[in-house]
Structure formats: structure tokens, C-alpha cells
Structure 1
Amino acid sequence: MKRVQNPQVCHGHSRPIVELAYSPVTPDGYFLTSASKDGLPMLRNGANGDWIGTFQGHKGAVWSCVLNSTAMLAATASADFSAKLWDAISGNELHTLQHSHIVRACQFAEQSPKLITGGYEKKLRLYDLNKMDAEPFVIEGVPDKVRCMAWHKDDNLLLTSYIDNPGIGVWDMREQKIVRTMDTGKEVTSIEIINEGQHITTADGNEARFWDGNSLEQRKSFSKDWKVESVSYCPERSRFVVGGEDMYAHLYDYETGNELECNRGHHGPVHTIRFAPGGASYASGSEDGTIRIWETDFATKENGDAANGL
């Protein structure tokens, strides 16, 4: 019999949540950011979901909100034709990065002080965080409107997906060109790269896909009866979670594909879902404007062992 959870419910947003992102573990713990169509991206304690602050300044929906590797900086991408760089400690806006169209995605590089943005312009803008007053390096030739992005291979590769078009473009950032395509059936709505690039997860149509981070070849694919919008994988626990149009947060065993939990509570499609560092919990963000933080089956066992002195 599958257990029924009472998740931590995080209120505060007034419109749909479209992206969640955890920071790595820092000396102060780890953090969770949320991007929402209400234009007010938020920062929370990643372990318990407690609200820390709101980044105020955008005048349109915010499609992406991410932290750098130290969680000292935040970046946001918005429908107001801008991206912004923030001091994640004070919440102060550091720079407004003007674009000529909607910005859908932003990502900090892991190994270098760089920030990249993409969206409806059909181009990529690369910013040097040490020279923010300089003009960005603009990469042309993007085949369509950018939906998702993720850095890979020591920041030498960039994975991009496109609005209304299938597949993932793999950019060699040293040559500023697409060097291959990872084929999918439909538009990719989620890209996640984990374990220092060893694993890649994506969502498209009804498919939750898992790729080898070195060869970029598909390892596994699990089909669902509903539209999958987001997938997250925890290799340490051999678990993955899926969110989508059916409004539930699903937990699966990676080896077998068997469903372990189907968590109910959201009142709209789950647009984004992500494991916390270590995999003891995961967060889901929905059309209903709430974030819900769920424990995994491993966390429940560990908590029980601790309570029993084991």
C-alpha cells in the first residue's frame, strides 16, 4: 500500500510556477529558487521551504530563476525583455540585461564566471560576470526560440531546447556552433544535468528520458499516459520523479520504472519538479501557484531509524 504524504506547502506566488532550481550544498545549507508568471521570483531554504526573500524588479512573467554555485548570485529571465543579476544575500538588483524579446532561460556556468541567456531572440548572450559593464558576446545562428538551457562538460558544451520544436541542440561553446542534436519526439520542456555531468534527464511529450552524460546517447525512456513536463533523477537513490498535466508528483524506481508513490495535492499541472541535493526530498511547482516539498521513501526510513536509535 502506497503511503499518503502531507508535504510542506510553500505559498507566496499568485500565479503559476514555471521553474524550480536548487543550489548546491553550501556552508549555509542549500537553497531553492522559484520562477513564476507573477513576476516575483523567490528564494527559500531548500531543506524546509521557508521563505527567505523575493527579487523585486521585473515587470512581466519570470520564466527562469537560478543561483550560481556558491548561492551568492541569482539570475532571472523574464517576459519583460530583460534578464537580471541579483545579490542573493541582500536581494539587491545588480544589473539589468536588456534584450530585444522575451528571455526564457538563463544559466550560470559552473567552472567560469559566466552567465548565458536565451529566448525569443533566437540568439545566445554570454556575459562575463567580472565585466558586467561590457557588452555581452552574442552567438547567432540559434535555429529557433530557446526554451531550456544547461551547461555541460566543464562549460564547453551548452544544451538548448526550442519552443514548439523537438530535439536538443548541443553547442560547442569554443566554436560557437551546434555540433550535434539529441533527438526527441516532441518539444523538450525540461533539461537537467547532474553528478558532474554523468547523467542528463529530459522531458518531452509523454516521455521521461535519461541520457549518458559522456556519449549523449539515450540510456532509458519511460512513457506515461499523460503529458510529462519535468523530470528529475537522483542516482544515489536510484529514484526519479516526474511532474506533468495529470497534476500529481510521481516517484519511481529507476531500474524497474515501477511507480513507488503518486502524491496528490496540486490543483493544476505540475510544470517543474526537482530533487533536493542528496535526494531526501523533492519539490514540485504547479499551475496552482504553490510549491510542495515531498519526502522520499528513503527519507522516511532514515527518519524512522533515527527515532528508534538505529
Structure 2
Amino acid sequence: MDKRKVAAPLVCHGHSRPVVDLNYSPVTPDGFFLISASKDSTPMLRNGETGDWIGTFEGHKGAVWSCCLDINALRAASGSADFTAKLWDALTGDVLHSFDHKHIVRACAFSEDTHHLLTGGFEKILRIFDLNRPDAPPREVDNSPGSVRTVAWLHSDQTIISSCSDIGGARLWDLRSGKIVQTLETKSPVTSAEVSQDGRYITTADGSTVKFWDANHFGLVKSYDMPCNVESASLEPKLGNKFIAGGEDMWVRVFDFHTGEEIGCNKGHHGPVHCVRFSPGGESYASGSEDGTIRIWQTGPLNHNENDISENGQTERLKVAADEVTLKIEGFHITEEEKAAEQENIDGFRAAEEGKADAQL
């Protein structure tokens, strides 16, 4: 089977260091949004469809390892090497609360009802903060067998899944008892664990394999060996017929969920891919890399190809960047340097598109 040709991605610049985590919001009345975590200490918020930069969350003093948005995209959270997890107002960029830890915070996740924030990290402790009482001490689940790498909620916030940086497997915790009720066995540490949008599957990546588990009975559904060491995987949310994976070879690969056959391969990053995530509607997916960029790849058929020129002499992609230097969300913190950098990116993009158009004439 021939691998399908994939369109050139939208390239999102802005981070000055590696991008290590990505999280999409569900679809809201204002669209859907994408937040990114980077070792440059500044999470960024973007329009999830176009990749347009909206604003930067400023306040961390160390690398940010994890980020997430709540279901309404009104609040964001991030976990950092500065020993804090922060809760942000996603409309203004203000810090709503800073939760102190005693070591690096590696992972964070909002509960489905958005009332709680789950964190984990080098302390080997899972903490659950009540966002209605942010100053109250968190609930602690402190029997993790290793340093926490990933966390996620499932079963209407009754169960937590976590993985460790130094040992294999993903552990499911019953919050009523605070005990591990099941371990999803893997040979290597799980670097990515995602609960599917419909709640049916848990997708894990553990280096050499991507596995799919029944999220209710915890049995192994499918396991596929990867052509390279992968760090992250994500299942298409609507049809569930394909999944993506990215890792050390800098490629983002697309696979058939039912057979494991590779059906697409996207090259563009200039460093290992640390995170891949499907958009909530499955029409695109994002990848974050060691090269400091985010790339958004389309899954649906193109409205044009690289050589098609619109009536205005520009491709539709130019519309993505043109009007977004100004802030969409009033009051969001932004430095003059970031404005200049974003404008420079847009000017360069415009010049490249005009060059393509001239070449066609």
C-alpha cells in the first residue's frame, strides 16, 4: 500500500527550547485551543485549528514539563522543574494559584469535572488539589513505585492512571481506596499515556511499542512494534481507525489502528519528537519537538496543493498568520521581544509564499 502524501504542516514558532508536552482543549463555543509546555519555562496558548499564537503564560522559573487545559479552555495548568504547579486564567494569562512541591513536577491533569488538579513528579507522590479550595492541603497518594512521568483521569474521576520514569508499566489507582487496582505491564517505562475521547481505550507508548488497552477491563487490545524508539502516541478521536506516533527519528508516523500498518510518514522536525496529539475532531494533529517548534498536520483532504494559488495570489495558509500579531485575548501578558519574533516569522512566511507565487507566473 502506498503511503499517502501528506500536506506541508503549519509550523508554529515561539519557543526557544524543546517542546515537551502538548494538550488540546475540547471544542468550545470559541473553537478549540492548544497549549504547549517547553523547557524555556513559558507555556504558550494557540488557536488549535490554525496554530495562531494567542499568548504566553509567564511566571515559572524552570523548565515546564507538562501542561493542560480544562474542558472549557478557561483555565490552564502547568508543572515545572521550579517545584511548582501553576493554575492560570486562560483568558488573561494571570496566575490564579501556585501549588508548591518539594521536587520537580513532571505531570499534571485536570479532572473531568474541572474541580481538581492532579500532579506527579520526582517525589513519587500523586497529589490531588481541590481547585475550589486552592489553599487547602492536597490529598496525597504516596505509594508510587517510582518517579511519576505521566498522569490521567478516567471513569468519571474515580480512577487515575500514572506511569513512572524509571520502571515499566502504567498503574491504575482506585481513588476510593487510594490503592493500585491494576498494572498495565510494559517492558520499558511508559512515556505517554492517553485516554481516548470516548473512554474506550488507553494508549501507551513505551519506546519500542505502542499498546492499546481496554479502559474498562484493562485487557490488552492491540500491541504494535514501532520502527524506531517512540516517545508519544495518540489515537484518532472520532473514528478510532488510525493512530500517530513520534520519537527519536524526528518523523511523525501514521498507522492503521486495526492492522498496525504504517500509512503515512511526515518529516519536517529537526530534532526528536517528544509529544504528538490529535485535535478533538481528528481533522489534524500536532507534534512538539526538540527543535523548539510545534507542527500541525492535516488529516483530511486538501482544499489545494502546494502549487495552487488563490484569487488573491496567496495560499490559504497565509491567512493563518497574517492578522494574529495582535492579541485575541485582551490582557494576556506578552513581551515586546515576543511581538517582534512573531512578526519576523510572519514576514518570513509571507515572503516565502510570494516567492512561490512568482515562480508560478
TM over 0.5: yes
Does the alignment pair 1:293 with 2:296? yes
CA positional deviation for 1:235:
4.8
Distance 1:95 1:112 in 2: 15
Q: Is the 8 A contact 2:6 2:298 kept in 1?
A: no
Distance 1:22 1:112, change over 3 A: closer
Instruction: Tell me which of 262, 267, 277 is aligned to 1:274.
Output: 277
- Aligned equivalents of 2:52, 2:17: Cα separation in 1: 19
Residue 257 (str. 1) matches residue 260 (str. 2): yes
Runs of 4+ in 1 over 6 A off after TM superposition: none
- What is the aligned counterpart of 1:84 among 74, 83, 86? 86
Q: 1:23 to 1:4 in 2, by over 3 A?
A: closer
Partners of 2:250 and 2:136 lie apart in 1 by 44
Contact 1:63 / 1:79 at 8 angstroms: preserved in 2?
Answer: yes
Give SS of 1:273's match: strand
**Bigger relative contact order, structure 1 or 2, given CA contacts below 8 A and separation 6+?**
2
Instruction: Report matched runs for 1:145-156 at 5 Å.
Output: 145-156=147-158
CA RMSD after TM alignment? 1.2
The aligned residue for residue 240 of structure 1 is: 243
The structure whose residues are more often strand, as a share, is 1
Contact 2:237-2:281 at 8 Å conserved across structures: no
Deviation of 1:256 after TM superposition, in Å, equals 2.0
User: When you count helix as a share of all residues, which structure comes out higher?
Assistant: 2
**Structure 1 gap segments, 5+ residues each:** 305-310
Displacement after TM superposition at 1:5 (Å): 2.2
1:131 paired residue number: 133
> Which stretch of the first structure deviates more once superposed, 29-38 or 139-148?
139-148
Structure 1 residues 256 and 153 mapped into 2: Cα distance closer, same or farther (>3 Å)? Answer: same
Structure 1 27/265 Cα, relative in aligned 2: closer, same or farther at 3 Å?
same
Distance apart, 1:6 and its partner CA: 1.1
Q: Secondary structure at the match of 1:24?
A: coil
Contact 2:198 / 2:237 at 8 angstroms: preserved in 1?
no
1:16-62 Cα deviation digits (max 9, x unpaired): 11111100111111000100111111110000100011110001000
- Contact in 2 for aligned 1:185/1:205 (Cα 8 Å): no
Segment drifting more, 196-205 vs 44-53: 196-205
1:196 & 1:254 partners in 2: Cα distance?
15
1:58-102 Cα offsets, whole Å, 9 max, x none, are 010000010111111100000011110000110000111110000
Structure 2: 5+ residue stretches without partners: 305-361
Q: Which amino acid aligns with 1:64?
A: S
Q: Distance in 2 between matches of 1:195 and 1:86?
A: 24
Measured in 2, the distance between the counterparts of 1:33 and 1:248 equals: 21
Offset from partner CA, 1:92-141 (integer Å, 9 cap, x none): 00111110000000110003511111101111111111111212122222
Determine the structure 2 residue equivalent to 1:181: 183
d(CA) in 2 for partners of 1:150, 1:249 = 23
Q: Report 1:1-310 matches (<5 A).
A: 1=2, 2-111=4-113, 113-237=115-239, 238-296=241-299, 299-300=300-301, 303=303
SS in structure 2 opposite 1:134? coil
Work out the CA distance in 2 between the residues paired with 1:255 and 1:179.
28
Residue deviations 1:171-214 (CA, integer Å, cap 9, x gap): 11111111121101100000110233111111002101111111
- Contact 2:233–2:277, Cα closer than 8 Å, also in 1: yes
The TM-score with structure 2 as length reference comes to 0.81
Residue type matched to 1:254 in 2?
F
- Please tell me whether Structure 1 or Structure 2 has the larger radius of gyration of its CA atoms: 2
Alignment match, 1:308: none
Determine the C-alpha separation between the residues in 2 that align with 1:140 and 1:22.
29
* Residues in 2 aligned to 1:37 and 1:235: alpha-carbon distance in whole angstroms: 28
